[in-house]
């Protein structure tokens, strides 16, 4: 077996994903606070074409304003 064939066994083409492993769904907006995908988009992500995933990923930064920062918590207590 030549070296090129052995490398093909270990190399995989992974699906492009905006996931940053900070998975939590915003209760009212119904989007992930980490990657900004909707629950529906997350559910069908592996079935989408690369073009469809790319289109959605281009839209994600524009969704950041939908997820407001948490109020309260340690940071709020420290500023008082």
Per-residue pLDDT tens over the stretch 4-58? 566 666 676 778 899 999 999 998 899 999 999 999 999 999 999 999 999 999 9
Compute the average pLDDT of residues 60-64: 94
Compute the average pLDDT of residues 57-72: 83
Please calculate the CA angle 36-31-16 and round it to the nearest 5 degrees: 40
The residue ranges of every structural domain in the chain are: 16-64
Backbone angles phi, psi at 25, to 5 degrees: -90, 125
């Amino acid at each position: 077996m030549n070296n090129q064939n052995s490398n093909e066994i270990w190399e995989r083409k992974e699906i492009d994903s905006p996931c940053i492993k900070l998975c939590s769904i915003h209760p009212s907006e119904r989007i992930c606070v980490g990657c900004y995908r909707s629950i529906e988009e997350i559910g069908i992500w592996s079935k989408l074409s690369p073009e469809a995933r790319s289109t959605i990923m281009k839209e994600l930064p524009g969704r950041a304003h939908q997820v407001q920062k948490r109020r309260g918590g340690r940071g709020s207590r420290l500023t008082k």
